[in-house]
Amino acid sequence: MPDPIAQARQLWSDHGWSDAALGMTAVTSLMRAQAIALKRVETTLKPFDITFARYEVLMLLTFSQRGSLPMSLIGERLQVHQSSVTNAVQRLEQAGLVNRSVRPDDRRAYVVTLTSRGRTLAERATAALNASVFADPGLPPARAEALVDILADLRHTAGDF
C-alpha cells in the first residue's frame, strides 16, 4: 500500500504549492504519528478505565512529594487549560482515585490528593504502559532518541519551554 501522506505531498506540489509541500507533509505525518501513539496508549489504559489525560494527572500526583498538588499547578505542569484539569479531576474523584479539597489558605482554590487506590492504579497502569508502549515506541532506540531531539527543537521554537 502506498503512503497516502507521500501521495498528498506529490498532489500538493502538482497543484503549485511546492514551497509548502514539505511542511504539509511534516505536520500531517506528525499528527498521524500522534494518533498512532495515542491509540496504543489508550488501548493499554482501557482495562484500567482511565484516559491518558487522567493517567497524566495520577502520575503528576504520584511524583509530587506529598501526593497532592493545587489544581492550578496541575494545569501549569501538564500545560493544559484549567477546564481540562477540572474535568479529569472530577472523573478521577468519581472513581475514588483522588480527593479534592479546598485549600486552607485560599478558599477559592482546590488541592487534589492521590488516594491509595489511585496510587495502586497508577503503578499498575505504568507497568502496563512500560511493557507495551514505552519500552517499544515503534522505533529503534537511536531513531527514538533522534525523534525526541527533533521534537524538542520544534517545541522550543514554538516557545513550549
Q: 43-46: list long-range contacts, CB under 8 Å, 24+ apart.
A: 44/125, 44/128, 44/129, 44/132, 44/133, 45/125, 45/128, 45/129
Task: Answer whether residue 148 is part of any domain.
Answer: no
Answer yes or no: are the C-beta atoms of 67 and 113 closer than 8 Å: yes
What is the total count of domains within the chain? 2
Question: How does pLDDT run across 103-147, given as a tens digit for each residue?
Answer: 777 777 899 999 999 999 999 999 999 999 999 999 999 999 999
- List beta partners, residue 113: 68, 99
Task: Answer whether residue 146 is part of any domain.
Answer: no
Q: Are residues 84 and 60 in the same domain?
A: yes
Task: Answer whether residue 119 is part of any domain.
Answer: yes
For residues 55-82, give the mean pLDDT.
Answer: 94
- Enter the pTM of the model: 0.89
